[in-house]
């Protein structure tokens, strides 16, 4: 094996390593409650809170979801119609 091959192998391992470590943290799955079956937007705040909203045709509400409990921790009703909301951003 020459130095060029060794360099390419080390470069490849360096690029793959962060993704493998990150993937290990994404293995958790949880079921959403029935009133979160049409989620079209989700954001995670710096404190770790997960906020979600449902697609159009649903009530104009934001939901703070607790993945540890698998339940809604808080619901905020907004004074605006839900006309096909598609995204949520912090």
Residues in CB range of 36: below 8 A, 6 or more apart: 52, 54, 63, 65, 72
pLDDT in tens, 12-67: 555 555 544 445 555 567 788 888 888 888 888 888 889 998 888 888 999 999 88
Question: Could you tell me the pTM of the whole model?
Answer: 0.65
In a domain, 90, yes or no: no
Give φ, ψ of 48 to 5 degrees. 100, -10
Nearest to 68 by CA among 30, 24, 36, 39: 30
In a domain, 63, yes or no: yes
In the block, which residue shows the tokens 């470069």? 11
Segments forming the whole domain that contains residue 68: 3-77
Nearest to 62 by CA among 46, 48, 80, 70: 80
* Count: domains in the chain: 1
């Amino acid at each position: 094996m020459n130095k060029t091959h060794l360099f390419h192998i080390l470069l490849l391992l360096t690029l793959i390593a962060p993704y493998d470590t990150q993937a290990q943290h994404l293995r958790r799955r949880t079921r959403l409650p029935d009133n979160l079956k049409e989620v079209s937007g989700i954001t995670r705040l710096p404190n770790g809170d997960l906020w979600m909203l449902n697609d159009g045709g649903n009530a104009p509400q934001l939901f703070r979801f607790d993945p540890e409990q698998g339940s809604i921790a808080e619901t905020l009703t907004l004074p605006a119609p839900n006309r096909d909301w598609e995204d949520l951003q912090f």
